[in-house]
A and B are shown apart, each in its own frame.
Chain A
Amino acid sequence: MAEHHFRVWRGDDDGGKLADYTVEVNEGEVVLDVIHRLQATQTPDLAVRWNCKAGKCGSCSAEINGTPRLLCMTRMSTFDPNETVTVTPLRAFPVVRDLVTDVSFNYQKARELPAFAPPADLKPGEYRMQQVDVERSQEFRKCIECFLCQNTCHVIRDHEDNKQAFAGPRVMIRAAELDMHPLDAKTDRKEFAAEEQGMGYCNITKCCTEVCPEHIKITDNAIIPMKERAVDRRYDPLVWLGSKIFKRSDA
């Protein structure tokens, strides 16, 4: 057992400030354990989202010493005993209270993306896929929607106006996942990402990949291939001609 210095942002949409706490820390604990101890012993009115405590539900996203992280997956042993641990809410979204932010932007963008389109000619039980193809999109399906990538992406983080045009990395990997799904019947996933969801805004700084708690290679495996193929489609005269001759059946 040891004491640790914490600074936690307290406030709401009217503003707020960092509050100082000295709090007990035990071996094996994560930052969320310490936040819970603060609630139990010093400040029961500290607002924080959490649920599974196992890095699966994506609730407890915040910024720890300025880096977007999950509170439940950040071990106290990663800090120097004398290092102050500063916990602040996600910066890219409006604060509701303390560490809780309004992340509804992400759900609006998710709703705009067309769902998986089943192939019309296959009946239940007739799908055949190779495991290797399933795994390609499986990587992107690992996303827990913690929105750390959305929060760190400077296109959104530093430019509120861009939120209208750019859906952010989370939505890009969803588009990539559907694009790579062996049986998705829509053939314009890349075009949709480029034209409707602002894929061009991404300038491949890979900040999103760095913060992803699921270690999804968002930029390398999803956005870059999508960008390359979108460009191929648009500028390749054969593809252009083919698409004119064989009218695509996607709705």
Chain B
Amino acid sequence: MRTTAPDVSASGPLSYDVVIVGGGAAGLRAAIAVAETAPALSVAIVSKVYPMRSHTVSAEGGAAAVIKDVDSLDEHFRDTVSGGDWLCDQDAVEFFVEEAPKELLRLEHWGCPWSREPDGHVAVRPFGGMKQQRTWFAADKTGFHLLHALFQTSLKHQQIVRHDEWFATKLLVDDGRVGGVAGIELATGRIETIAAKAVILCTGGCGRVYPFTTNANIKTGDGMALAYRAGGPLKDMEFVQYHPTGLPFTGILITEAARAEGGWLLNRDGYRYLQDYDLGKPEPHPVFKSMELGPRDRLSQAFVKEMEKGRTIPTSYGPIVHLDLRHLGEQTIDTKLPFVRELCRDYERIDPVRELIPVRPVVHYMMGGVHTDIDGAAGVAGLYAAGETACVSINGANRLGSNSLPECLVFGARAGEAAASHAASAPGPAASLAAQAADERRRLEELLRRDGGRERVSTLRQEMQAAMEAGAGIYRSRDDLVKSVDRVHELQDRFRSVRLTDHSLTFNTELIAALELEFMLEVAGSILHSALMREESRGAHQRVDFPRRDDEQFLAHSLICRNDDGSWRIEYPPVTITRWPPGERVYGR
């Protein structure tokens, strides 16, 4: 539903100065930045869901930013760079750690209720891979509260127009310059064009290319595919984060805060197995950057090793280990981790106060994404990206928990400002865009009406997910990757004869699922190709055939571009190192 009438007649084409695709934390922050820095510009948020359905609501644990006297920007910088196995661009990380506290305080001024210390100051908690307590939180629904505050703040700005439940299918690009988006309004099935001088992609991640993920249904990599198809490169796509503690079957996340508050990971013998993986010695209380507070990549990898040793617990939903919170006591669990208790009760029928929580690694986050510079500019004039869909990169080969929410804010704001300044001086959309829009309309109408195809969307999707788990899981090898690459190519061929049984224009979920699948196949291919070409092990990318980090060859970003015929090429621009040359990642000692 449109919430406000656009500034053109209802029959004419829609047109704005800045269009933002995606209404989660990054998208809303970008919209507010445009409205605040250039109030005369018109700005629209197009999103395939209502803003409050965005996946930001699922971020639980918190948002990292230096606020305490014992902490320093340098330590946040060092934790982030070593956590990312030196693949982060250090200029971006420097900017990020400086801006993060300002953004979180800004959120407080927009009504976000950060949890407090007894003296009334903002409270912080420890988090994995962080040397100090610097994770701000709002109970254990941090992303949820943050998104609400952003949404309510966006409502203050009358110039921010929303097109809710509007699915962007194509970026319109003319002569290397973005001119808007084409897409479908779900409620009516109307295929529309929205002209824009600048477009910001804020569509989040693509966890749905895998079978077992914490990501919600909408996380199908739309923004990544939109940019990739429009000629924008994707960066570091092989780096896929597995979160070590997902609930089996549902994949629902048990926040890292559970370990930060003192939770233990136990194998089938009740043994804190992380001590066997160079992550430190078991202590009764949580120790920074040690054991359960190690980084996510290392913890997920330790799980696989335990499984190979036969020390995990088999269940009908696959092998698991246990997360033990019992020693924390009911009061701590209820005040610090109420949502964890709620989820365990609702989905596993267990009470963590008295029982062990079954957990296993689950696909959680994409370190890679649309290649951008520090302003969010994505390599096509007028195109910007921010948040999980983008890769600046501050996360390198492995993101630290609680860095992603501030990333959405810091780089959402920055991209908004940059897009506004670009739009203020950019010429109007080129005339040739109408032809592109017409082509896109024909393509979508053909897909909608197509009859006689053999392939079902749900079948192809399942096969793609299986190929991704087999080829690009926690540990990878050349053979498995090659097989999965072939598989995804075959699925892309088969997609051409996909058949829809729903030909309605009104809220056609099957059509949207087909378009999402097409995007996901594109993104899946880019992950597999990038993983195949990176012949080293770094952070979340572990090759059993190349078990060492290789700074000689691969202290570099993978930049994958799509050629017009669907083939691809990869380049390796160097990582930006400003002040901390690569060293050993040290945890627990």
Taking CB atoms, residues of chain A closer than 8 Å to B110 are 115-116, 118
Taking the closest CB of chain B, its distance from the CB of A193, in whole angstroms, is 16
Neighbour of B250 across the interface among A54, A96, A141, CB < 8 A: A54
Interface size on B, residues (CB 8 A): 61
In the bound complex, how far is the Cα of B252 from the Cα of A57, in angstroms? 13
Q: Is the CB of A56 within 8 A of B144?
A: yes
Tell me whether A44 and B120 are in contact in the complex, defined as CB-CB below 8 angstroms, given that A28-B249, A73-B346, A97-B504 are known contacts: no
Which residues does chain A contribute within 8 Å of B347, judged by CB atoms? 54
C-alpha spacing A181/B110, complex, angstroms? 12
Provide the residues of chain A in CB contact with B1, threshold 8 Å: 102, 104, 107
Interface residues of B in 110-137 (CB under 8 A from A): 110-111, 113-123
Give bound CA distance, A58 to B51, whole Å: 11
Which stretch of A121-129, A149-157, A223-231 is in the interface?
A: A121-129
Q: List CB contacts (< 8 Å) of A183-205 with chain B.
A: 184
Q: Within the assembled complex, what's the spacing in Å between the Cα atoms of A241 and B534?
A: 75
- How many angstroms from the CA of A127 to the CA of B510 in the assembled complex? 48
The 7 lowest CB-CB distance pairs between A and B, nearest first, are A116-B111, A128-B120, A45-B502, A104-B1, A124-B105, A52-B216, A118-B109
B positions within 8 Å CB-CB of A:
1, 3, 49-50, 52-55, 57-58, 67, 102, 105-106, 108-111, 113-123, 138-139, 141, 144-145, 148-149, 152-153, 155-156, 164, 187, 216-218, 249-250, 252, 343, 346-347, 458, 500-502, 504, 506-510
Set of chain B residues within 8 Å of A38, measured between Cβ atoms: none
| Residue interface bits A75-111, CB-to-B below 8 A is 1, else 0 | 0000000000000000000001110101110011011
Which residues of B sit under 8 angstroms from A48, Cβ to Cβ? 509
Asked if A134 is an interface residue, CB under 8 A from chain B, the answer is yes
List 15 extra interface pairs beyond A54-B58, A127-B109, CB under 8 A. Answer: A47-B507, A55-B346, A96-B507, A102-B187, A107-B3, A107-B164, A110-B152, A110-B155, A115-B152, A116-B152, A125-B105, A128-B121, A141-B113, A141-B145, A145-B50
Docked-complex contact A51 and B118, CB < 8 angstroms: no
CB of A22 closer than 8 Å to a CB of B? no
Contact at A47–B3, with CB atoms within 8 Å?
A: no
Can you list 14 A-B pairs with a CB-CB distance of less than 8 A?
A49-B49, A52-B55, A54-B58, A57-B52, A57-B54, A57-B57, A97-B506, A103-B50, A116-B110, A125-B67, A134-B114, A134-B115, A137-B113, A138-B138
Alpha-carbon separation in the docked complex, A107 to B155 (Å): 10
Beyond A45-B501, A56-B144, is A96–B506 a contact (Cβ under 8 Å)?
yes
The one of B111, B249, B510 in contact with A44, judged by C-beta atoms closer than 8 angstroms, is B510
User: A127: which of B52, B108, B152, B216 is its contact (CB, 8 Å)?
Assistant: B108
In the complex, chain A residues 29-51 whose Cβ is within 8 Å of any chain B Cβ: 39-40, 44-51
Tell whether A249 is near chain B: CB-to-CB under 8 Å: no
Using Cβ atoms and an 8 Å threshold, which residues of chain A touch B500? 44
Which residue of chain B is the closest to A36 with respect to CB atoms? B458
Q: Are B119 and A115 in contact (CB under 8 A)?
A: no
Contacts of A45 in B (CB 8 A): 501-502, 504, 508, 510
Q: Which residue of chain B lies nearest to A47 when distances are taken between CB atoms in the complex? A: B507
Measured CA separation A120–B204 after assembly (Å)? 35
B530 to chain A, nearest CB (A): 28
B111 and A108 contact, CB distance less than 8 A:
no
- Complex CA gap A118/B49 in Å reads 29
Known A57-B53, A59-B49; judge A44-B252 contact (CB<8 A). Answer: no
User: Interface size class for chain A?
Assistant: 35 or more
A44 and B501 in contact (CB under 8 A), knowing A50-B217, A54-B343, A141-B145?
A: yes
Residue of B54, B113, B458 near A40 (CB, 8 A) is: B458
A17 at the interface (CB under 8 A from B): no
Q: Which residues of A contact B52 (CB under 8 A)?
A: 57-58, 144-145
A56-B57 in contact (CB<8A): yes
Complex partner residue of B3 from A50, A96, A104, A142, CB under 8 angstroms: A104
Residue on A nearest B119 in the bound complex, by CB? A128
Query: B120: which A residues are within 8 A, CB to CB?
Result: 128-130
Q: Does chain B have a CB within 8 A of A208? A: no
Shortest beta-carbon distance, B18 to chain A, in Å? 20
Q: Which of A51, A97, A184 has the most CB of B within 10 A?
A: A51
Contact of A51 with B113 at beta-carbon distance under 8 Å, contacts A40-B458, A96-B507 already known: no
A39 and B141 alpha carbons, distance in the complex (Å)? 32
Indicate if the CB atoms of A47 and B506 lie closer than 8 Å. Answer: yes
Kindly state whether residue A178 has any CB partner on chain B within 8 Å: yes
Taking CB atoms, residues of chain A closer than 8 Å to B145 are 138, 141
* Chain B: CB-nearest residue to A56: B57
Cα A107 to Cα B152 with chains together (Å): 11
Contact present for A58 and B53 (CB under 8 Å):
yes
Closest chain A residue, CB of each to CB of B53: A57
A141-B148 contact given A54-B250, A104-B1, A184-B111, CB 8 Å threshold:
yes
On chain A, the residues within 8 Å of B50 by CB distance are 59, 103, 107, 145
Among A52-79, those with CB < 8 Å from B are 52-59, 73
- A115: which B residues are within 8 A, CB to CB? 110-111, 152-153, 155-156
